[in-house]
A and B are shown apart, each in its own frame.
Chain A
Amino acid sequence: MYHYTEEQLQSMKKVEATRAERLKNLFPRMSAEEKDTVLKENHPDYIESAYETLKVGPNKGDKVLHELADLLQGRPRIRDYQINLDKPDYDVDVLVIGGGGAGSSAAITAHMGGANVMMVTKLRIGDANTMMAEGGIQAADKENDSPAIHYLDAFGGGHFAAKHELLYKLVNEAPDAIKWLNDLGVMFDKAPDGTMITTHGGGTSRKRMHACKDYSGAEIMRTLRDEVLNRNIPVVDFTAAIEIIKDDKGQACGAVLLNMETKEILIAKAKTVIIATGGAGRLHYQGFPTSNHYGATADGLILAYRAGAKLLYADTLQYHPTGVAEPTQIFGALVTEKVRSLGAQLVNADGNAFVYSLETRDVTASTIIRECNKRNKGVKTTDGVGVWLDTPMIEQLGGEGTIEKRIPAMMRMFGKYGIDIRKEPILVYPTLHYQNGGIDISADGQSGVENLFVAGEAVGGIHGRNRLMGNSLLDIIVFGRNAGSNACEKAKTVKVGKLSLSHVDAFEKELAAAKISPKVSSPRILPDYRRKDM
């Protein structure tokens, strides 16, 4: 049994007392106006003091969060090292930076196309947000559904801001992405006749969420990793890309690499480069905890920006409504949206529901913040405040055993701290989850810099200003394959000129001209969690 406080236990009793009533009367959906209001008044994206205006680079004049601005306008980390571009340590067709789902899909696809591919990653292949994606992957492959309906769900959920050509690709190629994974051997949840078991996610109008229990991302990631290894694609791990190299024609043609253990500098030359570096949760924007992996520090955005690529919607982040608020040991870890898909409600300290279970993530997170701040109906926790997620409802709705069968990872994670989610509700609060924006690309996956491709969470514009559950696992596959295939084709005709880092010199001159004295070295590479008073 977990040691809840007396106040928490009292509140838990209220949740139990109202459960039967809440099972009968679902909380109604919000109107469009109500959603707008709750977002503007509560969502962290609307807190102006958290933002500042960029003074240099392709997005000069745009607002981004302070933490990102410091890095985008930071001191290039390569200045700490002697860099010699004359003798590259690696010379390949396609260089993939990042070892998650997008990077792996890209590498496999480029390899299938005949390219000599290399992957470089800060941690190991698979130590990535993909591995932790629990809920599922969307694709309109059922009779009552169509890519057009998927399009409308995603476009509306993203506040009508997605780039048409990117979203078109995402939804239209979704079924083929599922088929590709299935044919690689990913074990999707299926009925005995082969029909995919699909559920709703927040903001979906059809049940199109495919899953592999609540290890969806893990099952996809370990399959992709196995395939990368089967193809003998070299994976250089514990090595960070710290600058993009361009040639005298302004084309991207490699990266400066840093062996994080020995601090040795290595030069990778390539005909095309794919940035698949993922998100930024470990920058802890606005002090939020994060569900992201250890290396999620927006490095790809920094590298691409200094190389001259424009960012799109870099000001918008996704705060997943249900991060762990208690126990403190796993504060900020993700509680999958699938818990709500299966019927668990969000409930305040008095035991009252306050939001329909499957509004979009930004709206749901905003209502939790409102409940805890403005309405003072939160439950005090070790690290702050939270609301209840009434998991026992799942067993009552779906029958005994549903939790163990459908969300075993959640049951295990809480079980380790003596919390049986089948019997007790859990405490949650929004956690920094996803970078909605990123590097602007065209439909072929290329950024504003010639031969610099981008895939996965590092891309901006696929989802607009908010992403639906299940569209991220989808985008890493669709846009990973897209980037891999196009980078491979492009590499066949590229003539690489003289390697240069003069764009970095130029960027520093811009910084000086704008009278910015950098506060930090960038990219960040890893967060520093050592005790502060050391």
Chain B
Amino acid sequence: MENFVNVYFFGKKYRVPESLTIMKAMEYAGYQLVRGCGCRNGFCGACATIYRIQGKQELKTCLACQTQVEEGMYVATLPFFPLVKQVYDIEKIKPTEQIMMQLYPEIYSCIGCNACTKSCTQGLNVMQYIAYAQRGEYKKCADESFDCVMCGVCSARCPAGISHPQVAELARRLYGKYIAPKSEHLEKRVAEINNGDFVKLIEDVMNKPVEELKELYNKRDIEK
């Protein structure tokens, strides 16, 4: 027999099966979601949620699609949060310390309260990656923030008004484009293709009769 728990969506009480995620519990309760629901698999950050368990002080945060309901859970969803996203031309900016100062100067107002890290739905060390961004250490910032789903909960909790996910996005793009080592084999292959080097090879395969292709496919050599 299924066990039920009492949860409160925006303060209103519903009885829902205890096995459900918050998202599925809302649907069970009768919500037809439009906002606050995207990939349903913990990657898109659309279902940022804040909750408090009745009788407890701590304010918790999570993704609604990845979190099971609990008895006495008071739930408020955060389907949108006004992050600051600065516009820039990736071809023109350079991975210098100044670029953060120009685009996201508020990161230097961080007061070190660590509310961002405590609230991260992915369990990331957010304050640490902001510290790396402040110092222009973009590789470290990129690595530390890599699993960010940009749900924006950290920014909702930040007294300094920092848009952490956008800062990290900038750091990752700077790293990926300018700092990460170049892939010579890739550049070489693109040049070969532009030179038409593979046209005949592919056409040779394409123009073979299917029976011959099946033979080729079934006997092709497979890299260990």
Contact = CB atoms under 8 A, between A and B. Distances in A.
Nearest to B188: A141
Interface string B22-39: 001001111111110111
Interface stretch (B49-57, B104-112, B125-133, B166-174): B166-174
Contacts of A293: 38-41, 44
B169, B177, B186, B201, most chain A CB atoms within 10 A: B186
Interface string B159-186: 0000000000100111111001111111
Interface string A122-157: 011011110110000000111110111101110110
Contact of A196 (B89, B90, B183): B183
A329 B19 contact: yes
B149 interface: yes
Contacts of A530: 27-28, 30-32
Interface stretch (A87-95, A227-235, A486-494, A512-520): A227-235
Contact of A218 (B34, B149, B216): B149
Contacts of A129: 39
B30 A131 contact: no
Given A148-B201, A194-B183, A205-B222, A179 B190 contact: yes
B68 A291 contact: no
Contacts, number: 228
Interface stretch (B5-13, B70-78, B204-212): B204-212
A148 B202 contact: yes
B41 A291 contact: yes
B202 A179 contact: no
Interface string B191-224: 0011000110110111000100110111011110
B87 to A, nearest CB: 5
B97 interface: no
B189 interface: yes
B21 A329 contact: yes
A293 B44 CA distance: 9
Contact of B169 (A149, A206, A222): A222
Contacts of A184: 90, 173, 176-177
B136 interface: no
A8 to B, nearest CB: 16
A232 B38 contact: no
Contact residues on A (Cβ < 8 Å of other chain), bracket:
35 or more
A213 B122 CA distance: 15
A249 interface: no
B66 interface: yes
Interface residues of B, number: 73
A416 interface: yes
Contacts of B38: 123-124, 126-128, 131, 293-294
Given A132-B39, A172-B202, A186-B176, A412 B122 contact: yes
Contact of B193 (A175, A190, A206, A260): A175
A183 interface: yes
A187 B180 contact: yes
A7 interface: no
Contact of A294 (B40, B201, B204): B40
A176 B190 contact: yes
Given A132-B39, A190-B183, A416 B31 contact: no
Nearest to B87: A230
A149 B202 CA distance: 8
Given A215-B146, A293-B39, A147 B201 contact: yes
Given A148-B205, A205-B220, A187 B35 contact: no
Nearest to A181: B176
B66 A413 contact: yes
Contacts of B46: 123-124, 127
A207 B213 CA distance: 21
Contact of B181 (A124, A127, A183, A193): A193
A302 B41 CA distance: 26
Contacts of A127: 38-39, 44, 46
B85 interface: yes
Best-buried of B169, B202, B216 by chain A (most CB within 10 Å):
B202
A531 interface: yes
Nearest to A155: B213
A226 B89 CA distance: 11
A372 interface: no
Interface of A: 32, 123-124, 126-129, 131-132, 140-144, 146-149, 151-153, 155-156, 160, 164, 168, 171-173, 175-176, 178-179, 182-188, 190, 192-196, 200, 205-207, 212-213, 215, 217-219, 222-223, 226-227, 229-230, 232, 238, 260-261, 291, 293-294, 328-330, 333-334, 382, 408-409, 412-413, 416-417, 526, 528-531, 534
Given A185-B177, A528-B32, A529-B24, 19 more contacts: A124-B38, A127-B46, A132-B41, A132-B43, A141-B185, A146-B198, A146-B201, A148-B201, A152-B205, A178-B186, A184-B177, A185-B172, A185-B175, A193-B181, A205-B223, A219-B172, A226-B173, A330-B21, A531-B29
Question: What 10 A-B pairs have minimum CB-CB distances, sorted nearest first?
Answer: A185-B173, A127-B38, A156-B217, A194-B181, A185-B176, A185-B177, A148-B201, A529-B27, A187-B176, A141-B189
22 contacts: A123-B37, A123-B46, A124-B44, A132-B41, A132-B43, A140-B189, A142-B189, A146-B201, A160-B217, A188-B176, A196-B185, A213-B146, A217-B43, A226-B85, A226-B173, A293-B40, A329-B21, A416-B67, A526-B34, A529-B27, A529-B33, A531-B30
